[in-house]
Amino acid sequence: MNTKRILIYLPLALVLFLVQSFFWVPTYDKQAVGNPDRLLTYIDGSTGDAEILNPILNADTASSSIVGLVFDGLIDLDENLNYRPRLASSWTQYEETWLVVDPVFKKLRRQDGEPLDTAKDWARFLLESLRSNVKWYKNLRSVEVVPGQVIKGDISIPVLGEDGKPQVENGAPSMKKVSYTVQQPDRIKFILQNIDQDFFQPLEELIGADYFKEFPHRNYVQAVDPSQQEFLKPQYQQILSLKEHNPIIVFDLRKGVRFHDGHEFDSGDVLFTFQSIMNPRNASPRTSDYEPIKTVEPLGPHQVKITYKRLFSPAINAWFMGILPQHLLNERELKKEAEARGLDKESFTMRDSNFNRNPIGTGPFTFKEWKSDEMIRLTRNDDYWDSPPEYGEYVMRIVPDPLTQEMEFYAGAVDNYGVQPHQAARFKEEEKYQHFSSVGSFYSYIGYNLRNPLFASVEVRTALGMAIDTDKIIKYILYGEGERVTGPYAKISDWYDHSVKPLPYDPKGAVKILNDQGWRKNANGFLEKDGKVFEFNLITNAGNLVRKNIMTIVQDNWRKIGIKCNTQIFEWAVFLKDFVNAQKFDALVLGWSMGAGIDPDLFQIWHSSQAGPRQLNFVGYKNPEADRLIVRIRREYNKEKQIEMANALHRIIARDQPYTFLYVSKATQVLDKKIVIVEPQPDGSEKYVKIYPTKSGEIRQYFNKWRKLPTAPQFAAAG
């Protein structure tokens, strides 16, 4: 590699620093000679230090990378993005559904013409009437009648002004607490083998829509203060739901797993982790992921039952969360720690605990030391339940400067770092490295504010997209490390519809569409309609050179067809607060990270109910058919049905073009060829396998099997 080529344009001081760094650090080969421990140590380069090493509290990438090695979740994903067991050895899902029976309702009658008087009569009638519905009936596991009970509670409701609108105090809606008593009627409990969002459909057809519309909630829900009864009226359905879906997951937990201090993991740790997340004193950023949970109930030391409040198929993903050790972080232990440190026991919370800098989990590596802004060191967990890692140590080194990272990598002082496409291109010239370029889950787009009349027409938005040379963006800005995308899902996922073709780069076709919409070029060469020039502002955030370059290319593309596009760049906080959240923009360049595409829920980004200020559907996209699909997708637990609906949603959004979908960038990664996957063979020998990316583009799926060899092995050519 020609280091002069890298350094020639840099300031002299930085050149000197890099040259010194290069010569101070022994090369990889020199490190390995006479120092076999270097072969057993994996060193990651990170631009920033971790913040907090607690799985329920961390919110930054550096912390997450360490937490992922120290802690295990109940489940995670295999190389094909399917769920696989971790601390859970297996799991089952089923559903409990509930139907409230109004004893006063007399429209349902037996064959002899007599009304149904009791919940048992109702249950018998419904089963007999729906016996011919084979699919519905076959899904029933059991049916029982549960006697009603008295329930007391309170609910917070917004205070309304004389104009009927919620009153606001200190920037937040004014709320009033109303206490109530519910004389809950008898209910029918149906246990289903498979979760079914349409379970109540045949029941509703049989009972009649009037039953649900005209149910006399007032007979069963009473305010403790009678003068507040009217406040409860809009909340009747929430307080006494007539039909209820309660999906359930039962996890069977792996036996014999131990935390790094030797304490055995069990169901109490799962319950404790959930309770810690939901405890407001801990201020966990993950609370919303667990809000759909109704109860977490240990069924013995190695089984736990999770009951959900409602249908929400992405909820299972929350159990990727690393499980905390209850015995080290329970209230008694926190008070002991506070007392030992001379701190106030009442105000001391998990966030204050030394655990966050000295974590103990069940993962493949145990925590060793943390030198702030310098490094974090982990050591191999020789007692790991899934066989210990090949590496004896994992070190995350803090190297803030990207160019310094590159030199440290070249010298062998780090084994991996967040290599950029232009850097990866340089390493491709070197025989000693293996290169990976995989389609990621982050896509870039231009979003249009659909509240602006300029962008109200699908045809106009389509023309804007056709005028953009996206292939040029990929070639010159991403160094070819990207692919076109056409819709809202990660391209690597099953939800993405590959039959949808990208908009062609066709400036002439774009002009024709705009001409058909009444836009004509004026004397200055700009498109004009009804005396108004086609002019708007395109904005993005500062600190992102790629987006800045995209704006330059797009502005030029649009100018060539007669569109006057002005560009502006704002600091992230200003960009978000004054433009995106306030919805005061014309068009913007942004991107979405879709994770690994593990679930197809797009509610927050695309549902019309999420188009208000400070919400994620900031472009204001509204389509009733898209709304219907979005809701059904997040309530569906059958993957094949989800794929069918997600593909349909993809096609609708691609047709409507609320975004011009640009590209998905590729994940570029480089490793020394001496690093391989080790596969033990039945006869006790070992087989070396080349590292390969999984479906998500991730190369570390089998990191525990990685090993550095003294020399690079020779692999047979493919095919």
Q: What is the pLDDT of residue 15?
A: 38
Element (H, E) at 377: strand 375-380
Separation of alpha carbons 325 and 353, rounded Å: 13
Rounded Cα–Cα distance for residues 197 and 497 (Å): 24
Per-residue DSSP letter, 439: E
Residues in the chain, pLDDT under 70: 1-36, 171, 596-597, 716-719
Please give the pLDDT value at position 596: 67
* Strand-strand pairing, 140-146 and 150-158: unpaired
C-alpha 213/C-alpha 231 separation (Å) is 19
What is the per-residue pLDDT for 229? 93
DSSP, collapsed to helix, strand or coil, labels residue 419 as: coil
Give Cα 626 to chain centroid, integer Å. Answer: 20
The confidence score (pLDDT) of residue 716 equals 62
Q: Which of 351, 334, 325, 320 is nearest to 273 (CA)?
A: 325
Question: Between the CA of residue 617 and those of 143, 447, 459, 608, what are the distances in Å?
Answer: 42, 10, 21, 7
Task: Give the integer Cα–Cα distance in Å for 198 and 463.
Answer: 40
| DSSP conformation class of 578 | I
The predicted pLDDT at position 30 comes to: 52
Helix (H) or strand (E) holding 654: helix 639-656
CATH 3.10.105.10 residue ranges of the chain are 438-667
DSSP state letter for 134: H
Q: Could you tell me the two tokens for 414?
A: 């780090």
User: Model-level pTM?
Assistant: 0.87
Dmax (CA) for the chain in angstroms is 99
**Cα–Cα distance between 691 and 57 in angstroms, integer?**
32
Tell me the residue type at 626: A
How is residue 140 written in tokens? 């029933």
Instruction: Provide the token pair at 217.
Output: 């909630």
**Cα atoms in the 13 Å half-sphere on the side-chain side of 65:** 22
Q: Which two tokens stand for residue 322?
A: 């690393």
Residues 6+ apart with CB under 8 A from 30: none
510-541 pLDDT, tens digit per residue, is 999 999 999 999 999 999 999 999 999 999 99
Distance CA 353, CA 332 (A): 13
CATH number of 438-667: 3.10.105.10
pLDDT tens for each residue of 271-325:
999 999 999 999 999 999 999 999 999 999 999 999 999 999 999 999 999 999 9
Beta strand 172-173 with 168-169 is antiparallel
Q: Give the span between the Cα atoms of 655 and 173, in whole angstroms.
A: 38
Cβ neighbours for 89, distance < 8 A, ≥ 6 positions apart: 252, 253, 254, 255
How many beta carbons lie within 10 A of that of residue 536, not counting itself? Answer: 19
Distance CA 605, CA 613 (A): 13
What distances in angstroms separate CA 53 from CA 45, 61, 322, 359, 509, one per listed residue? Answer: 18, 11, 11, 6, 54
In the chain, the amino acid numbered 370 is W
Q: Would residue 514 be called left, alpha or beta, if left means φ above 0 and alpha means ψ between -120 and 50 degrees?
A: alpha
Is 128 buried (19+), middle (13-18) or exposed (0-12) by CB count in 10 A? exposed
CA dist., res. 716 & res. 70, Å (int): 36
Q: Strands, DSSP E only, in 415-469?
A: 433-448
Question: In 3D, which of 455, 614, 592 has the Cα closest to residue 537?
Answer: 455
The DSSP call for residue 86 is S
